[in-house]
Structure 1
């Protein structure tokens, strides 16, 4: 660990390495990474999309990116558990800041998000994005599909988000639109944790929350990974995939969801897939309790980065029974 102290996000000249910060002070960025839009040699750009105009119940997830960054400070100074390596010695990560949006001109939102993502992806840098409501996944996935072709979606959610597409901005119908446009390959995609009904699966494999509870992590991973194969995989994680006892800070909570330990085991079990990007959405800090929702979101983001580090060959020193 370097002897540099304080405000790493502004002072650092490097995108690698770990620096000491007070967990209760200093410049906030995700995992205390350097703020930069220079992506030369950068593996992953973390950014926020503070938009919640498409919600159907409780608003407030426009404040999600800020809350997740704040919650990440606890994860910034330790070797990654349970991976057993220093994430920041194995992956070059920057905090790219937030996508600038004009809420007074909603007709500009989709293009603004898509342009934001395309600028990053075009430089061969992967994205970890924090919403915002779940509609933001639509332009993000469109940008990824421009580079990789139709993507396999692995979606953690309480809701299907494949309701009838009316052509507007709705956080409950954008994946139906994406499938109809050929942006998502539903035949290889899986939705996990659902506990609300639609009148069609739209070609997705659906592993409901009760199914996961009854059949377990290994059975779920077998379905997900066999279906995805070697296709390019985009993960979209609606925080309401978790039970509200684990993640109360969200706009449309539904009881009976996944526990955080189940979510983490499922995510870590995706190792070996061709992971191309991820978003974490619907964190609404106004409804949170003791930051537990934001901490869950930050941990998911952290572990996704660890999977990318393992894709690059990172190896850990595992201690204890994992």
Structure 2
């Protein structure tokens, strides 16, 4: 009790720091939660414009504008009553040390997975997905990926720290099964011999949307019970709707189509997710950050299982 004579209802206490105002918990390993949000402020592996290290804070900040909806349209349930979600803040690593970041992110993920939790991570550049896949592969054995991007990130780079080479390394390390993996929105040079199924942006533009949804669903269903890791590089979207990114490519998806594609993944066994490459310094009126936060919110709705 306080001087006003009543016990405060702490469920009404809010903040603008956690994603969607979810509670902040800096020791997430022992807390009762289904999904843990982690920011990874890292952009040392970028080949374009730097600045995505500020992505996690920008996504969190703009997400407060999405927190007021009890039922997010077009879903018919309250996410907070279906999933226990916490935000553990940003990963701490030695400044300027890419290997230290990689080691600590993988260890963080392994600890969360071993305690029965799943992860939604915010980049940072797309390199962060590689240490996450290493942790996930240890826990689930080989995974398949659902990858939204303008680039395949399959470049055979001499550097192990390159956001454009992460799936080249993931395949070589046998972390993922490319035969059950799909890449959506690609519109840069790609090698179709890498065994990924590629649905490029031009095909999407010419395709009836309902046929596209069914085609993606049919392919993913063919994987059976394989667990999927879902990764969304914000440059999958066209720069007209998402200018705030390091390597923008014209001719991309618009937010409505991207969200509808995501919403049609509810049948998949998605065990991990990330949204990467938001670089707020190049953004306009926070539209890229808002797109990323909206995509992340729909991702969380997609993984709800009744």
Partner of 1:176: 168
| Matches of 1:285 and 1:54, distance apart in 2 | 17
Q: Are residue 154 (structure 1) and residue 146 (structure 2) matched?
A: yes
**Runs (5+) with no aligned partner, structure 1:** 1-10, 314-322
Q: Can you list the C-alpha shifts for 1:126-183, whole angstroms capped at 9, x where unaligned?
A: 1100000001100011111111111110100001100103242001011011011110
Task: State how 1:1-322 maps to structure 2 within 5 Å.
Answer: 19=12, 21=14, 26-36=15-25, 37-38=27-28, 39-78=30-69, 79-229=71-221, 230-309=225-304, 311=305, 313=306
Tell me the TM-score normalised to structure 2 length. 0.91
Change (3 A) 1:188 1:128: same
Contact 2:192 2:198 in 1 (8 A): no
Q: Which runs of 4+ in 1 moved over 6 A?
A: none
Q: Could you tell me the TM-score, scaled by structure 1's length? A: 0.87
Total equivalences in the alignment: 293
Residue equivalent to 2:4: none
* Structure 2: gaps of 5 or more residues: 1-7
* Worse-superposed segment, 52-61 or 116-125: 116-125
Deviates more, 1:138-147 or 1:30-39: 30-39
- Aligned-residue offset at 1:104: 2.7
C-alpha root-mean-square deviation of aligned residues, in Å?
1.7
Work out the CA distance in 1 between the residues paired with 2:31 and 2:271: 18
Residues 74-83 or 58-67, more deviating: 74-83
Indicate if the aligned counterparts of 2:180 and 2:220 stay in contact, CA closer than 8 A: yes
Is 80-89 or 102-111 further displaced after alignment? 102-111
Provide the rounded CA distance (Å) in 2 between the counterparts of 1:84 and 1:110.
38
Aligned partner of 2:5 in structure 1 is none
Q: Give the deviation of 1:12 after TM superposition.
A: 8.8
Instruction: Give the Cα separation in 1 of the matches to 2:65 and 2:192.
Output: 41
Would the aligned equivalents of 2:16 and 2:61 in 1 still touch at CA under 8 Å?
no
Q: Residues 245 and 121 of structure 1: is their aligned pair in 2 closer, same or farther, counting only changes over 3 Å?
A: same
- Name the SS of the counterpart of 1:113 in structure 2: helix
Structure 1 residues 124, 284: CA separation in 2 closer, same or farther (over 3 Å shift)?
same
Q: Deviations over 1:248-290 (max 9, x none)?
A: 0000000000000010000000011101010000000000001
Deviations for 1:78-127, whole angstroms, at most 9, x for unmatched residues? 12111022111111100011111213333322211111111111111111
Shift in CA distance, 33/216, structure 1 to aligned 2, threshold 3 Å: same
Distance 2:53 2:263 in 1: 27
* Structure 1: distance between partners of 2:180 and 2:219: 5
